[in-house]
Amino acid sequence: MLAGMAVLGCLLFYLSAGFWGNLGWSREYILSYINEPLSENQAIAVMEQHLQRMEKNIQNSNMQEKIPDFCIWGQKEQVLLTNENLSRSIQADVILFCGSPGLLFEDCRVPGREDKQGCLIDEETAWRLFGSVQVTGKMITYENSQYIIRKIIPGRKGVAAFPAAGSSISNETDISAAEKQLQTVQPEQNVLNRVTIKKPQEQSVNELKTSWAGCYGVDIQILDMELLRGAGGVCVLLVPLTVCVVFLSYLCIQYEKQQGWKGRAVMLCLIMSLAVLALYLFGMWIQIPDEYIPAKWSDFGFWAQLIAQKQEAVRLLIRIPKSVLDYEWGKRFLAAAGFGLAAEALTVLTVVMLNYRMKLKCKK
């Protein structure tokens, strides 16, 4: 029974570490929520400003500003998609995006920014509309317009992704004209409420938020995915931490039982080696973000402010409208935390039962 519990605990730990590892993309991308959602025209206007900034940055050799790539997106729920050739229709969740789809879907480089007729669908949508996943290049109809399927994205949720189809701004239009268009769009059309940003290497998250508001006139709230990743990592670390503590306790007990100095020296070397190895491994695993370190350790107000910020970050993660893309990171975090806690519970139970058995044998 103990062997079975140990094997099950190892399996749960492996699953927990695997799901936690899938949250590693949070180091490369920043997810944010737009306080006042944009329409497709507004998103295109922001993207035009971004492209103009990049062009000016390239042309001006003295202005080498680091401008991170981004994708503005939002979701429409249960939208009618049609395959007119086979007279098939389904209700699917539609992701509207303006920018690089590779920031939303892994290893996806199509459709490009100039491709307004391309779209993406997942495997479930492909099966229900065509009865096959080999449908790249075929046509589907969305809101009375036909689109060409550029790629099949993994998933069985019934999802399709289309580029923002608002009337784009001419490349000759200056930024002031783009800003003017931002003010002239009907608010009821606003559906794009999220931005995924390629994380810049030389800019903090707070600096990025301020820069975004100043450059594009869009107020965003950063979703603290590092907090989720850190919390999931703590749950994953519980099992190896418990195992290290158990072995150290066992070695300390054996150290006390030794009568001669040679036996004690051996036990002491084993204890020191295990402690150093544990510190080395945990040091490689654990990385504390700079925002968690105060400028002065005597600044006690820093900790109260940090706790308040993290509480607000958790509330934001809970209250934002969830899309099908959000369920992916939510599922990974819950799986990492859940499997980690379950593995820890089995580990503790195994240790307790093993200790109980050893005590019974000693009494006999």
Q: What is the pLDDT of residue 179?
A: 47
Q: What is the pLDDT of residue 62?
A: 56
pLDDT score of 319 more than 70: yes
pLDDT score of 355 more than 70: yes
Helix, strand, coil percent values for the chain (each to nearest 5)? 55, 20, 25
Question: 0.85 exceeded by the pTM?
Answer: no
**Nearest one of 157, 96, 97 to 126, comparing CA atoms:** 157
* Chain segment 235-259, per-residue pLDDT in tens: 998 988 888 888 888 888 888 888 8
% residues pLDDT > 90 (the chain)? 28
Decide which of 85 and 25 is more confident.
85
pLDDT score of 113 more than 90: no
Q: What is the pLDDT of residue 188?
A: 45
**Two tokens at 339?**
């499997």
**Nearest one of 26, 38, 327, 22 to 196, comparing CA atoms:** 26
8 A C-beta contact, residue 168 and residue 48 = yes
pLDDT score of 8 more than 60: yes
Q: What is the pLDDT of residue 173?
A: 39
Q: 299 CB contacts (<8 Å, ≥6 apart)? A: none
- Residue 301 and residue 305: Cα distance in Å, rounded? 6
Q: Report the mean per-residue pLDDT for the chain.
A: 83
Cα angle vertex 185, ends 179, 186, to 5°?
155
Q: Which helix (H) or strand (E) holds 215?
A: helix 205-216
The 10 Å Cβ neighbour count of residue 200 is: 16
Q: What is the pLDDT of residue 169?
A: 37
pLDDT score of 301 more than 50: yes
Residue 287 C-alpha from the chain's centroid: 17
